[in-house]
């Protein structure tokens, strides 16, 4: 993931170099054809990865999205970085708002917020207007009086089916 303008410049430069290299390799005459094909495919794959990263960064920076969602709490660090980029704030801008040093934000982002203190993460999330859904705690799974003759194994396998199918219908032609 491209996290800042500097990385964006480096990646864009790399991308151009790969594109030139692919041109050169494909014009080479005096090489083993199989080898050439492998080389081209490898470079093409590399280009696709870089292009996707550049594309993601640009769509964030150009505010093409109305909101960004993370499905897992483990993706929160990436979401914090993406939200900053989407707001058009540099690491320096964010640091200023929080009255902390720019290097601090740089370090957080570099290590995906692994080194940030809990309250600091909450402050940054608030500054970036991250919304949290109600977070639930499971308390007791055996509260339910269910029909006799149904084993709990049967119910949990049916529940697993329900959770993975995510529909109560079978509509198709």
CA atoms within a 13 Å half-sphere pointing along the CA-CB vector of 40:
13
Is residue 163 a contact residue for another protein (CB under 8 A)? yes
Residue 165 structure tokens: 């199918």
71 touches another protein (CB under 8 A): no
Q: Which is nearer to another protein, 99 or 138 (CB)?
A: 138
129 vs 145 by CB, closer to another protein:
145
**Which residues, 115 to 154, sit near another protein by CB under 8 A?**
136, 138-139, 141, 143-147, 150, 154
User: Given the complex with another protein, which of 99 and 161 has the nearer CB atom?
Assistant: 161
CA distances from 115 to 69, 90, 101, 124, 143 (A): 23, 20, 15, 14, 40
Q: Which of residues 49-68 bind another protein (CB under 8 A)?
A: none
Nearer to another protein, 41 or 162 (CB): 162
Q: How many residues bind another protein (CB under 8 A)?
A: 24
Question: What is the SS3 assignment for 48-110?
Answer: HHHHHHHHHHHHHHCCCCCCCCCCCHHHHHHHHHHHHHHCCCCHHHHHHHHCCCHHHHHHHHH
Encoding tokens for residue 2?
A: 């491209």
Question: What distance in Å separates the CA atoms of residue 130 and residue 132, rounded to the nearest whole number?
Answer: 7
Residue 117's SS3 state is coil
Site for another protein in 99-118 (CB under 8 A): none
One residue of 44, 55, 62, 159 binding another protein per CB under 8 A: 159
Contact positions toward another protein, by CB under 8 A? 136, 138-139, 141, 143-147, 150, 154-155, 158-159, 161-163, 165-171
């Amino acid at each position: 993931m491209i996290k800042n303008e500097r990385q964006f410049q480096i990646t864009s430069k790399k991308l151009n170099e790969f594109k030139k290299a692919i041109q050169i390799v494909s014009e080479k005459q005096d090489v083993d054809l199989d080898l050439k094909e492998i080389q081209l495919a490898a470079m093409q794959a590399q280009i696709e990865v870089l292009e996707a990263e550049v594309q993601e960064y640009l769509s964030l920076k150009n505010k093409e999205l109305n909101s960004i969602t993370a499905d897992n709490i483990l993706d929160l660090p990436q979401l914090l970085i993406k939200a900053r980029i989407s707001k058009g704030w540099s690491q320096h801008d964010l640091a200023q708002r929080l009255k902390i040093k720019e290097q601090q934000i740089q370090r957080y982002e570099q290590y995906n917020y692994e080194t940030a203190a809990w309250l600091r993460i909450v402050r940054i999330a608030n500054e970036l207007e991250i919304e949290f859904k109600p977070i639930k705690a499971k308390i007791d799974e055996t509260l339910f009086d269910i029909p006799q003759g149904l084993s709990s194994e049967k119910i949990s396998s049916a529940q697993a089916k329900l959770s993975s199918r995510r529909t109560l219908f079978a509509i198709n032609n």
